[in-house]
């Protein structure tokens, strides 16, 4: 399949290109992509969409510290441009990197008890959105744009509310805790370290499971789906049954299988 991948040089983008065998056309603002451009520049991105069979849209401001201006330009205007370009070029399938921060206030309300095994909370695609930031709200806006194009243009749209994907060296539930040690934030085994591990054991989406979920969406015969992107973690609070039943997601990793960093 000939796929346009925006944000191709980021953490999620490289997880996809390293694990999937498609003909990817890459677009990013840095590195060495096929198209080096900002997604908020419609005229610059438009040629990248010609003759593509699908778009995996990852580009945008990636964190909850986004200012309103950053969220507006990179995530709202940029995503609007991507969907418009896809529609005008005849691309009928878009996979959109949404975020768990669309519903981040559930975590804010229930943490840190939420991070422990058997905590009684499951958030699924039918629950009300509860954005925790401009970033989370901008991703919710992207989901709404996707629904608009499904209803009005006949596009197929998959919004992946991604949990915690990390670069290869930190692709495990101890990754964030170990980065904290390296940054001098805490010592290994401290309360802060253990809390970070507990959270990641719920939100971790391994790189291979991430790529697999995208692959499922590239072939699924569905019109519109909101799916949670986490691995098969025992202590997850995000539902993955919808992803299993609607697109055939079959994650291979579980944060509980790790008792120490590699």
179 part of a folded domain: no
63 part of a folded domain: yes
Provide the angle, in degrees to the nearest 10, between the axes of the packed helices 134-153 and 78-89: 20
Query: Is this prediction's pTM over 0.85?
Result: yes
Q: Give the tens place of pLDDT for each residue, 105-130.
A: 999 999 999 999 999 999 999 999 99
What pLDDT score does 73 carry?
A: 98
Active site residues: 135
CATH number at residue 9: 3.40.50.720
Neighbouring C-beta atoms of residue 134, cutoff 10 Å? 21
What pLDDT score does 37 carry?
A: 96
At 73, list the tokens.
């330009």
What pLDDT score does 165 carry?
A: 98
Which residues of the chain fall below pLDDT 50? none
186 part of a folded domain: no
Domains held by the chain: number: 1
197 part of a folded domain: no
What pLDDT score does 35 carry?
A: 97
CB 196 within 8 A of CB 188: no
262: exposed, middle or buried (Cβ count in 10 Å: 0-12, 13-18, 19+): exposed
Range of the domain at 35: 2-171+205-257
25 part of a folded domain: yes
């Amino acid at each position: 399949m000939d796929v346009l991948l925006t944000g191709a040089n980021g953490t999620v983008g490289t997880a996809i290109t390293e694990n999937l065998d498609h003909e990817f056309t890459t677009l990013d603002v840095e590195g060495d992509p096929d198209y080096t451009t900002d997604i908020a520049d419609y005229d610059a991105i438009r040629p990248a969409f010609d003759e593509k069979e699908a778009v995996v849209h990852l580009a945008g401001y990636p964190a909850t510290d986004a200012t309103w201006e950053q969220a507006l330009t990179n995530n709202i205007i940029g995503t609007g441009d991507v969907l418009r370009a896809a529609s005008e070029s005849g691309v009928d399938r878009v996979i959109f990197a949404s975020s768990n921060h669309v519903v981040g206030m559930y975590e804010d309300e229930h943490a840190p008890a939420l991070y422990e095994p058997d905590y009684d909370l499951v958030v699924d695609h039918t629950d009300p959105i509860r954005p925790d930031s401009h970033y989370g709200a901008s991703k919710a806006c992207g989901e709404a744009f996707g629904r608009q194009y499904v209803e009005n243009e006949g596009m197929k749209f998959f919004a992946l509310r991604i949990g915690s994907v990390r670069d290869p060296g930190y692709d495990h539930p101890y990754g964030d805790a170990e980065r904290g040690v390296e940054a001098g934030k805490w010592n290994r085994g401290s309360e802060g370290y253990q809390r970070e591990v507990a959270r990641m054991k719920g939100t971790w989406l391994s790189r291979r499971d991430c790529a697999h979920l995208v692959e499922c969406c590239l072939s699924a015969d569905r019109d519109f789906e909101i799916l949670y992107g986490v691995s098969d973690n025992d202590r997850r609070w995000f539902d993955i049954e919808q992803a299993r039943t609607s697109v055939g997601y079959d994650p291979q990793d579980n944060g509980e299988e790790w008792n120490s960093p590699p």
